[in-house]
Structure 1
């Protein structure tokens, strides 16, 4: 089989294609013939050796979908040919997150899915709705599940509540889709009028171009009659967090899932003064993945895919992710 590996010290670029013998499943495992993989901001950190993981000869990417090609002894409920996506944390089956559950993360602490064949524990091979393409299903394991966790477990979003979403990457676009089916009001921030129009077309109730309106937290206050939002799904990190403190209502929730905005340090005064619940989450469990897929299938949601790159152009997919010009998800076809 062919796989893509990271070689951070290589002079001609960090991504290289290699060949391995096709793997065989052990007891309780399956082999998945990968058909597509998608990228997350975390994958840039891994590539740049800024994630705290050993990247030499690591197969990258956590998110992928394909079909089961081989089944190990003792596996029940799955058949060869079943269409599945792999769980980001294959050892987090259900319940609260723990150090043990998150010790192995695909494409970080262990090999990921940018390969023609991948071995997974059977419970971490999650069937997805039949109407989705492999490219669409490959966007689900991290970005979609993180959005689902943020609005169903960290802060169970109720109909009529107001949520602030930031940017037009995979998590935020999927969060918009989930918020709409939950009956929430969405105030969505983005970086250009064109992206704001696309978000409005997808159902955002109000949009704010944060490059033109730097004090976007003040605008959120105006749109909520001075009360603030019930929930902010925070992807910017130190660069945006203090504005999120001012944009959320007293007693509201900020679910922190990323730090794409850069910046250094935060002042916790805003959290204390407004009695804000600041919650950090990390993707979700296999049980959450099954639950999310049931909701996606019931409402026939389709993830937004910005562009699909062929396997041999994986480096171009990384480059586009780094440029920040995408809307939704970037996918590599395998």
Structure 2
């Protein structure tokens, strides 16, 4: 059997559970399997949570970690029709999921890097439903950011179809992680005005360089939701909020959103709530729609990739790119919140 080096999780006791192994087996191809030469990977907060066993996340023992990569197809199983050797591809986190069916937390718990061997390895075998063709204009590093952050942002903005941002709308994105930064890029491509938040002056400058029209510091302005509303042209509030904090941010998201606006809940990065826990009745009080967003479908992934090509979008990669042998350092860098947008690993 062929072997490949890989980063595995030997447990869930934190970053010390990451282990680099030289000779992990590369399975032979089944009927619907694809062998991919992996060139780049990106990390998610999900990956950190899995290493720590947070949110009751459990793993298959000694699982190859992470879920997001881009690479080139080397060979395919006899029943694979969508891909051929030489195709450039990205991973989709949940194998064997119908292409238009929404992803659930239960689905993700069975996905890449948790129950199915993930992506931090030079060669990986994936079911053909765990792959999509990558946008041809992107580098492997840029394309590796799309699996989780890109698709989540796309679903947050466009998942309700007719409620998607249009020219003249105002979109509020929170923080400087991967979901927020590419959501900013998607919103700008629609002609929307973008308000962003951060607690760092240095990151505020990066948000402005990425195109944000207004940047609010949520540490110095505790009522940033009300400030965001005041920045809208008619003072009625923003059309769409991409909320990544959850309990710690939803109260201000409700202050920011306009009547008939949308709050897309995409993350749980915040800690304790900054006020009383909000309830569904707040949707009535604020006349808004609040929807949970978890990744997106493979069909949405393909639509997103077409949009990226059409608008010439280049996903933002943090200035510090890690080598394959530096994966543990990459995890620590992300855990320390030193990154802007996506932390990526080049796999030589």
- Residues in 1 aligned to 2:314 and 2:103: alpha-carbon distance in whole angstroms: 31
Query: Residue 48 of structure 2 aligns with which residue?
Result: 44
Question: When the two structures are superposed, what TM-score results if normalisation uses the length of structure 2?
Answer: 0.90
Shift of 1:57: 1.2
Q: What is the aligned counterpart of 1:126 among 122, 126, 132?
A: 132
CA contact (8 A) 1:136 1:305 kept: yes
CA displacement 1:224-252 (0-9 Å, x = unmatched)? 24311111000011011111111111221
- Residues in 2 aligned to 1:282 and 1:31: alpha-carbon distance in whole angstroms: 27
CA contact (8 A) 2:171 2:193 kept: yes
CA contact (8 A) 2:14 2:52 kept: no
CA contact (8 A) 1:242 1:270 kept: no
Change (3 A) 1:108 1:330: same
1:84-233 equivalences under 5 Å are 84-97=89-102, 102=108, 104-154=110-160, 155-224=163-232, 225-233=234-242
CA displacement 1:32-65 (0-9 Å, x = unmatched)? 1111110111111101011433333122111111
Change (3 A) 1:11 1:134: closer
CA contact (8 A) 1:7 1:16 kept: yes
Change (3 A) 1:202 1:9: closer
1:77-88 equivalences under 5 Å are 77-88=82-93
Question: When the two structures are superposed, what TM-score results if normalisation uses the length of structure 1?
Answer: 0.94
- Residues in 2 aligned to 1:10 and 1:261: alpha-carbon distance in whole angstroms: 22
Query: Residue 30 of structure 2 aligns with which residue?
Result: 26
- SS of 1:13's equivalent in the other structure is helix
CA contact (8 A) 1:23 1:117 kept: no
- Residues in 2 aligned to 1:313 and 1:195: alpha-carbon distance in whole angstroms: 24
Q: What is the aligned counterpart of 2:306 among 291, 294, 299?
A: 294
CA displacement 1:182-230 (0-9 Å, x = unmatched)? 1111111112222222212221111111122121012112112431111
CA contact (8 A) 1:89 1:285 kept: no
- Residues in 1 aligned to 2:282 and 2:45: alpha-carbon distance in whole angstroms: 27
Q: What is the aligned counterpart of 1:58 among 53, 60, 63?
A: 63
CA contact (8 A) 1:30 1:119 kept: yes
Structure 2, gaps ≥5 residues long: none
CA contact (8 A) 2:12 2:50 kept: no
1:242 aligned to 2:251? yes
| Higher mean displacement: 258-267 or 18-27 | 258-267
- Residues in 1 aligned to 2:149 and 2:172: alpha-carbon distance in whole angstroms: 17
Structure 1, gaps ≥5 residues long: none
Shift of 1:172: 0.5
